[in-house]
Amino acid sequence: MEFPVIVRLIDSVILIDHLNGIEKATRFIIKLDPVETAISVITRAEILTGLGETEQAEVIPLLDQYQLLIIDKPTADFAARLRREHGWKLPDAFQAALAQHHKIKLITRKSKDFNPRKHDFVEIPYKL
């Protein structure tokens, strides 16, 4: 049995933009192959936190189409190091650690923290 090859990790901000009706985000998400795309447990929690039960029932199928990356001990330790080195907020450090650990792109629009010229694991698909 072959497992899908994940090539990208979608940051929470991209999905939040989509859920808030930002057309650039929606166009980007529509183009993605869900089999090659992941979200983190951080993203899942951040998205679901802001929703009521009815909204959750509508959004969970969107989240469930992506692979889910969990945070293990080595990733947590790596995130702590990244937070110290770069001063990132802990959720951002976790996203960066997961992307780098899995050797995939972090898809975000947080270019202030994640400048793709400085961090080759980052892709900025659109700007607002």
Please give the pLDDT value at position 27.
Answer: 97
Domains contained in the chain, CATH given:
8-70+98-123 (3.40.50.1010)
What are the tokens at 127?
């700007």
The sign of the torsion formed by the CA atoms of 18, 7, 90, 55 equals: positive
pLDDT tens for each residue of 7-47: 999 999 999 999 999 999 999 999 999 999 999 999 999 99
5 pLDDT tier (thresholds 50, 70, 90): confident
The helix (H) or strand (E) run that includes residue 123 is strand 122-123
Q: How many CB atoms lie within 10 A of CB 51?
A: 14
**Whole-prediction pTM value?**
0.92
